[in-house]
A and B are shown apart, each in its own frame.
Chain A
Amino acid sequence: MTSARDPGSLLPLTPAMFHVLLALADEERHGYAVIKEVEARTGGKVRLGAGTLYGLVKRFLADGLIEESRRRPAASEDDERRRYYRLTPFGRRVLVADVGRLEETVAIARSKRFLKRIQPA
C-alpha cells in the first residue's frame, strides 16, 4: 500500500529528517548509532537529541519510511533495550526524491550569475 503512495507528498524533509533517513540508507542502525552517524557525517554540525530522534522515528514508522529490523548483533555487543531500524523501499524513494529536489534547488541557484563562482566540490 505504501509503495502506491507518492513520495512527493512527504517533501520537503526537514534537515533532521533528511539526515536520519540518510543514516539508515546504507545500513540498519539503532538509535544511538544514528545519532553518531549524523554527527560524524555533518562534522558535528547536526546533533540530534533523543527526543527529536524518537519523535522522527515514531512518525517514520507510522508513515512506513522505516521499519524495525529483526536481525541483532551478537549478545556481547548488544543492549536488549536497543531496537534496530532500516529504510523501507518507500523510505528510499522519499529520500531519493528529496535529494533530487535539493539538486534541482542547487542547480537553480547555480544558474544565477552571482553564484557562478560556486563549483561542485
Chain B
Amino acid sequence: MSPRPSRIPHRMFRALMSLFPFEFRAEFEPEMEAVFDEQRREAGTRRLRLRLWARTLLDTLRTAPREHLDILQQDAMFAMRVLRRSPGFAFTAIVTLALGIGANTAVFSLVRAVLLRPLPYHEPERLVSVESGYRSPDSLHPVRGILTGDAVLNFRANATTVRNLAVEHIYSPELSSPIDILAPDGAERLRGGLVTPNFFETLGVQAAVGRLFGSRDNDTDPLAVISDGYWRRKFGGDPHVVGRTVDLLFVGRRERTPRRFTVVGVLPPRFRFTYPRETEVWVMLPWSAVRPIGALEYRVIARLAPDVTANQSQAELTAISRRQKYHGEHDVTLVTPLPERASAEARPGVLLLATVAAVVLLIACVNVVLLLLARVAERGPEVAVRTALGAGWFRIGRQLLVETGILVGTGGAAGVTLAFALQPALRALVPAAVTRGDELSVDIPVLAFAGALCVLLALSCGLAPLWHVSRRWVHDRLRRGGWQVSASRGVASWRRGIVALQVAVVLVLLVGATLLLRSFWQLRHVGLGYDGTGLLTMEINTLGRSVPAPDWARVHRQFTRELLERVRALPGVDRASLTTSVPMRGVDFTYVAGRVGGPGIAANMRSVDAGFFALMRIPVLAGRGFTEQDTSESPPVAVVSRAYGKLLFGDQSPLGQRLDLRETQPTIVGVVEDVRYVHVRQRARPAFYLPRDQDPGPISCLIVRTRTDVAATAAAIRVVVHDLAPTQPVERITTLGGIVDELTAGDRFYAVTTGAFGGIALLLAVAGLIGVVRRGVAERTRELALRNALGADARTLVHRTVAQELRPVLAGTLLGLAGAFWLSRLLQRFLFEVSPLDPWAYAFASLLLVAVAFIGCYIPARRITRIDPATALRAE
C-alpha cells in the first residue's frame, strides 16, 4: 500500500480537479489523484515537481472544458427528448415566454431610441438648454419660457459656467421661425432655423457635404445650411449642391422681399434638433440682431465649462438674471442638460410603457415557474428513480436548468422575431410628440438586452424547480409513494398565494388599461361645440405688409374676397370661410375686453367672416351671426360666446349691449355656443367674435367644408392661391379630423399599447390559472374518484372545486383593487376627464377578470366528471 500524500499538494490537486464537472470527478477523481501521487513521488527534484505541476495545470485547462461541453450536450439532448414527449407544456411555456420577451424587446427598442441613445452631437451630456422659468408658489415645477434678448446678452457677456452660448430665434413659443422658400412652381413654407453663427460649433457637428457656417463667417453673409431630408427631397441628393442658391422669405418680418442665400453645406442624416419636424434650412442670425429689449423670442443652448454641473450653472445664470431690470420674484433661469430636455415630454409615457411591459414579463415568468413546478411534480417518479440510480440532485437540477434554458432560448428567439415583426407597427403607432420615437429599431444593443433578459429569465425560472429538487424532497417523494399523493399543504398554499398575487398584478394592469382606454374614448367623443366632419383647414399668412399702410387693408380685403369667391366656386366645396385663429392648432388670440365701465375680462378673440358660424355649425343661441352687411363702413358689431356673455352680463341678455375694446365699442348682436378651439383637451374658453372686415389681421386660416375628395380640393385651392399670390405658401392642409388624430395620437398610443399588454397579461394569467387548477384536479384524482365511487354527484364536485379555486382569485382581486386604488394616481397626467378612481373602470376590470378566471377554473374542473373511479383507483 502506497503512503498517503502530504496535505498541501493534495488540496491543490483537489482544487484543480474542481474544474472538471461533478460527474467526471465522481467517476475518476480518486484514480487521478492516485496517478498524480505516483507522478509526484517519481519526480524527485523540486524542478521536476514544478514541471509536473505545470503540465498537470495545462492538461486540466485543456481537458476540463471539453468534459463540461460533453455533459451539457448530453443534458440538452435529454431535455429535447423530454420536451418532445410533452409538446403541450413546451408550447405553452414557449408562447408565454415569447410574449413576455417580445413585448419587452419591442418596448426596449423604444426606450433606447427615446431615452438612451445619445443625441447626435459631440458630448451631448455637456450641452445644456437655457430657458427662463416662472416658479409659481403653488406649483411644483416651474413653467418654462423663452429668454429675452436682454438676458441672452447678459449671459453671453458674464457667465463663466457655460461656454459658446448659441441662440436660436423663436417665432412663437416652441416654434422655430418659419421661412418661405420661393421656387418657380410656387412658394413653400419650410421649418427654418435662425441661429447665431456659432450654433453648430456649440453642438459639435460636422457637415456631411460642404461645410457648416461658423463663428469665423461674417454673420450678415447670406449663407444657408440644409438638412439631409431637404437635400434629398429638393436637390435629389446632388453632391454638388454647395454653391447653389435658394430664395428665402422670412415670415413675421415686415418686408416681404425675398433674399438670395447660398447653400454652403448639408447636415448629416442623423442630425436632429427640432421635434417632431426637423428644421430644413438654417441661416445665420447676426449677434447684432439679438435685441436687448423686445419680445420673448430666444432659445439658448450652451456647453458647460469643464467640471461644472448644470445645477451650478443654473445658480450662476439665475444670479446674473437677478441683476436685470424686469426680474420678478418668482422668475428663475433653468439650465437643463439637453438630452434630458429633449426627452422630457416623452419620458413619462415611455416609462409607463416600460413598466407595463415589465409587469407582463413578470406575469409570464411566474407562469413559467408554475408550469415548471407542476412538471417537476409530475416527473416525481422519474426523478426519484434516477436519484435512486445514483444521479445526484445536482445533476438533475442542472438538467432542469438546461431544460429551462432551452425553453427560454426558444421563447426568446420567438420573442425577438415578434419584436422584429412588430417594429413597423410600433413605429407607425408612436406619436410624433415622442421625440426620436420614429428612430426605434431592433438593433445590436436591443438584441443584447433580449439576450440578457433570457439569461436572467432562465436563471430565475430555473431556480424554482432547482430548489424543489433537493435530495430531501426526492426522499420525501419516495417515502410517500410517488406522485399520486396530493401536493403537500405547503406547496398547495404556495401555489394559491402565487395565483392571488398574479391576479392582483393583472387587475392593476387592467384597471390602468381601462382608465386609459376610457380616457381616449372620452377624448374622441368630447363635444367640441361645432361639427368637425368634412372640415378642411389650412393656413395662409395673407400678404405681409409689403404694401404701404393705408393701402394694405384695401389690398388685403381684395385678396381675401377674391380668394373666398374662387374657393367657394370650386366643385365639392359647400362653404368656405376665413378666420384669424386656426382651430385645434393652439393659435388663438387672447384679449382683455369688458362691458362699458366694467372690469376687463380676458377672452379669446376671433375675427371671422360672414359665413363662419354656418360653416362650423356653431349654434347661434340668440340674436344673429355676422352678415355681408357687417363691413368696415357699417357700425361695429360683435358676437359673444355663451360663457363670455354670462361672465360680462350675468343673467341679463348681452344682446344690444356694448363690448368695450378701448378703440371701439361694438354692439353685441348675437350669442353663440362655447367651443373647444385651442386643443381637444382644453375646455371651451370664453370668447368673442368680430367681423373680419372690421378687424383684418394678417394670420389667416381658410376653413372649407367639402363633400368630395379632400386631396383634390386641397390641390385645387393651392392652384387658386398661387394664381392670386405667387409668393404665398399654403400651409398644413389637413382635415380637422386629421388634426384631432394628431393631437390625440399620444393618448391613442398609450391606450392601445397598455390595452394590448393588459389583454396579454389577462391571457397569460388565465393560462396559468388553468394549469394550476388542472394540476389541482390531477393531484386529487384519487380522492375525487373515491368520492365518486361513494356516490358523490360529479357536478357538485365540479362546483366545489371551482369555488375552492376561485378563492385565491377573489383574494387577488381585492388586493389588486387596493393596489390600483393606490397606484392609479400615477396615471393622472395621462387621463382626460376621467378620474383615476373612476368606479366604472374598476368595476369593469374586476368583472372581466373574475369572469375570465371563472372560465379558467371551470374548463379544467370539468374533467372531474370524466374521471372513471375504477381506472383511477386501479392505477393506485
* Contact assessment for A49 and B28 in the assembled complex, using a CB-CB cutoff below 8 Å: no
Counting chain A CB atoms within 10 Å of each CB, the highest count among B24, B56, B59 belongs to B59
The 8 A CB mask of A19-56 against B (1 = contact, 0 = none) is 00000000000111001000000000001011111110
The 8 A CB mask of B50-93 against A (1 = contact, 0 = none) is 00000110111011101100000000000000000000000000
Contacts known (A50-B36, A51-B62, A51-B64); A82 close to B31, Cβ less than 8 A: yes
List the A side residues contacting B60 at CB < 8 Å.
Answer: 49, 51
How many residues in A have their beta carbons less than 8 Å from beta carbons of B? 22
* Contact assessment for B31 and A31 in the assembled complex, using a CB-CB cutoff below 8 Å: yes
Counting chain B CB atoms within 10 Å of each CB, the highest count among A49, A55, A75, A78 belongs to A49
**B1 CB contact (under 8 Å) in A30, A35, A50, A78:** A78
Query: Of residues 73 to 87 in A, which have CB atoms within 8 Å of B's CB atoms?
Result: 75-76, 78-83
* Contact assessment for B24 and A81 in the assembled complex, using a CB-CB cutoff below 8 Å: no
Query: Of residues 434 to 485 in B, which have CB atoms within 8 Å of A's CB atoms?
Result: none
How many residues in B have their beta carbons less than 8 Å from beta carbons of A? 25
Determine how close the nearest CB of chain A comes to the CB of B38; give it in whole angstroms.
5
The answer to the question of B34 belonging to the interface, with a C-beta cut-off of 8 Å to chain A, is: yes
List the A side residues contacting B36 at CB < 8 Å.
Answer: 50
The answer to the question of A95 belonging to the interface, with a C-beta cut-off of 8 Å to chain B, is: no
The answer to the question of B826 belonging to the interface, with a C-beta cut-off of 8 Å to chain A, is: no
**B55 CB contact (under 8 Å) in A49, A79, A80, A81:** A49
Chain B's closest residue to A48 (CB) is B59
List the B side residues contacting A58 at CB < 8 Å.
Answer: 24, 27-28, 67
* Contact assessment for B56 and A49 in the assembled complex, using a CB-CB cutoff below 8 Å: yes
Chain B's closest residue to A77 (CB) is B1
The answer to the question of A57 belonging to the interface, with a C-beta cut-off of 8 Å to chain B, is: yes
List the B side residues contacting A79 at CB < 8 Å.
Answer: 1-2, 34
List the B side residues contacting A49 at CB < 8 Å.
Answer: 55-56, 58-60, 62-63
* Contact assessment for A55 and B66 in the assembled complex, using a CB-CB cutoff below 8 Å: yes
The answer to the question of B661 belonging to the interface, with a C-beta cut-off of 8 Å to chain A, is: no
Determine how close the nearest CB of chain B comes to the CB of A22; give it in whole angstroms.
18
* Contact assessment for B1 and A54 in the assembled complex, using a CB-CB cutoff below 8 Å: no
Complex Cα–Cα for A97 and B1 (A): 39
Determine how close the nearest CB of chain A comes to the CB of B778; give it in whole angstroms.
38
The 8 A CB mask of A55-66 against B (1 = contact, 0 = none) is 101100000000
List the A side residues contacting B30 at CB < 8 Å.
Answer: 81
Given contact pairs A52-B59, A83-B31, enumerate 13 new A-B contacts (beta carbons under 8 Å).
Answer: A30-B34, A32-B38, A32-B39, A35-B39, A49-B55, A49-B59, A50-B32, A51-B62, A51-B63, A52-B62, A54-B32, A58-B27, A58-B67
Chain B interface (Cβ within 8 Å of chain A)? Answer: 1-2, 20, 24, 27-28, 30-36, 38-39, 55-56, 58-60, 62-64, 66-67
A-B contact pairs, 30 of them (CB 8 A): A31-B32, A31-B34, A32-B35, A32-B38, A35-B35, A35-B39, A49-B55, A49-B56, A49-B59, A49-B62, A50-B32, A51-B20, A51-B32, A51-B59, A51-B60, A52-B59, A53-B35, A54-B24, A54-B31, A54-B32, A55-B67, A57-B28, A58-B27, A58-B28, A78-B1, A80-B1, A81-B30, A81-B31, A81-B34, A82-B34
